[in-house]
Amino acid sequence: MQYYYLFAKDNGENVMLSRQSHRELNPKSGAGLDEAMLGNDAIVFSVQAGEDYGYDQYDPDYEGAPEALNLNQRMLDYYEHDSLMSERLLKAIGQREEIQTFPVRLDNSFNDEPLTTNYCFVNITKSFDCEDIAHSDSPAVIDDPSKLVVDESKTGHSNIFRLRPFVSTIVVSEDIATAINRGSFNGVVAYPLPHPG
């Protein structure tokens, strides 16, 4: 099976999220979360943004008019650090037994613009230490799992999982990667991991 990893693209949107409630929830443990801990409450995030955004337009060689984007246009479909995915991204991924989702409420602390994208707090319930060291060029390093070859026999043939010890890294199967890369999502792309051989 060809595996891919999700890469959070940063194009200088300059939007920061801060979890305001349910901070005890750890979505990167690779285990299921107790839904009773939330009750009927949504997980609350505060949205902050900087006035400046868009790396390209601050490049001295940039040719073109600066973009004027509102906050909604700067919001991403995937916030790796905060374990948030837009409902549109989750729909492309499809219902998977390895995914728990929880409702989210975003409070705009930047301006009075109503936020139009709906998000879910995403918990991936599987994690594996699955590096195929014999076929890897070099051991993967914590900030660059891109050289890691996955030993499929250690993944239980899961379609989506977190990679141990790099728990921020989400690995997906080819069908999920294809759906993501064809979906023109803001802030996420799926890159292939090396294949054994």
pLDDT of residue 128: 94
Average pLDDT, integer, range 61-86: 88
User: Which strands form 188-192's sheet, in the order they lie side by side?
Assistant: 127-128, 160-163, 170-173, 3-8, 188-192
124 in a structural domain = yes
The structure's pTM equals: 0.89
**What is the distance between the alpha carbons of residues 195 and 116, in angstroms, rounded to a whole number?**
39
Report whether 120 contacts 87 (CB < 8 A): yes
Domain containing 108: what range?
3-192
pLDDT of residue 54: 75
197 in a structural domain = no
Q: Total structural domains in the chain?
A: 1
120 in a structural domain = yes
139 in a structural domain = yes
106 in a structural domain = yes
pLDDT of residue 143: 59
Q: Considering only CA atoms, which of 107, 124, 115, 106 is closest in space to residue 171? A: 124
80 in a structural domain = yes
Query: Tokens 């599987």 sit at which residue?
Result: 126
**Neighbour tally for 109: CB within 10 Å:** 13
pLDDT of residue 69: 87
